[in-house]
Amino acid sequence: MMKKILLMILLLFLAFLPAIAQTTVNATGTALSATSTAAKEIIVAQDGSGNFKTIQAAVNSVRDLGQWRVMILIKKGRYNEKLVIPSWKTKISLVGEDNRQTIITNNDYSGKAFPGGKDAFGNDKFSTYTSYTVLVQGDDFTAENLTIENTSGRVGQAVALHVEGDRSVISNCRLLGNQDTLYAATETSRQYYINCYIEGTTDFLFGEATVVFQGCTIKSLANSYITAAATSPRQQFGFVLMNCKLIAADDVNKVFLGRPWRPYAKTVLLKCELGNFIVKEGWNPWKGDAMFKDKELTAYYAEYGNTGEGAVTTSRVLWAKQLNKKQAKLFTLKAILGGTDNWSPQAGK
């Protein structure tokens, strides 16, 4: 009887041995299965010294709807790609070697002829929504130490980064473009940008998402508008800029903090440094929009504790709000981005 029991234990051990042997630990200390793509970091290097020469090839290799985070380490180089992180590629992290020397670049813009005639939807030209250099549709995406740029110039709408996925974190990245540099898209998307540098001309922070920009440097390259939120009436928060520094090119002297792309746009600046190029009225109602009129009646634009010559609020438009200390305390990362799943971007959850 004892021999049979010992034999059964031995057989069970042998059955589970492969799974035990295949368990490893990734860079974050999380136990992973070796059969998973995330069991090892993926390296992209143009000289062939990594696993792939292009970032898109590395993304394509990741297991669909994987349960573990996949680290794609990108060596220095200029990667001429129109990169797509599709919705079924989740928990992907792009980590550059150096944010000035690891560059993802492209030059599509709205109105540019589509190569080969037409795209899959029959369009023969790019639009604002397809002009991106990088498109992120997958949830739980992170990017670090990268430059993402659209080099098409001042030709109209030309997006560098377009993010639709939920729970995205972009840190220590440079987002470069002109009009519409960053499209923070979809009302169900939560996005967190920390210690980033973002530059552009018109509406270069725009979209429907709930977004926090923390400790970012935001540079205006022309006399125009910085933000163009399209917040829906179902969202409590829209764009929130915390402890950011707003700067401008030398020849720029008339910049608005924002204008409402849609009637319920929400944008709040908290403890930001505003240069003297910010116009005294601060905000613009976008009166020329034929489809949506009187947006200043429903938009929510507010400020608290800002500094610098552009932070004087005595001549702000009457429909903008100046928060008191108690009101400003409601704007926390947990309140803005936590949601029903209690997401904490700083904890990497």
Helix (H) or strand (E) holding 56: helix 55-61
One pLDDT digit (tens) per residue for the chain, 349 residues: 544 544 444 444 444 333 333 333 333 333 333 334 443 699 999 999 999 999 999 999 999 999 899 999 999 999 999 999 999 999 999 999 999 999 999 999 999 999 887 887 889 999 999 999 999 999 999 999 999 999 999 999 999 999 999 999 999 999 999 999 999 999 999 999 999 999 999 999 999 999 999 999 999 999 999 999 999 999 999 999 999 999 999 999 999 999 999 999 999 999 999 999 999 999 999 988 888 989 999 999 999 999 999 999 999 999 999 999 999 999 999 999 999 999 999 865 4
What does the pLDDT look like over 307-324, one tens digit per residue? Answer: 999 999 999 999 999 999
Q: Is 341 a catalytic residue?
A: no
Catalytic residue among 166, 203, 250, 341: 203
Whole-model pTM above 0.85? yes
Contact 173, 213 (CB under 8 A): no
Task: Say if CB 137 and CB 87 are below 8 A apart.
Answer: yes
Q: Can 98 be counted among the known catalytic residues?
A: no
**Angle of CA points 190, 194, 197, to nearest 5°:** 115
Cα-based distances in Å from 27 to 107, 119, 141, 349? 34, 39, 17, 16
**Torsion sign over Cα 72, 76, 77, 82:** positive
Angstrom distance (rounded) from CA 277 to CA 256: 9
Q: What angle do CA 228, 232, 234 make, to 5 degrees?
A: 150
Structure tokens at 6: 């010992």
Cα separation, 199 vs 220, in Å, equals 6
* Rounded Cα–Cα distance for residues 29 and 15 (Å): 26
pLDDT at position 7 is 46
Q: Is 193 exposed, middle or buried (0-12, 13-18, 19+ CB in 10 A)?
A: buried
Please pick, among 180, 250, 251, 294, the residue that the annotation labels catalytic: 180
The candidate with the shortest Cα–Cα distance to 222, out of 203, 197, 235, 208, is 203
CATH topology of domain 73-341: Pectate Lyase C-like (2.160.20)
Query: What local confidence, expressed as pLDDT, does residue 40 receive?
Result: 60
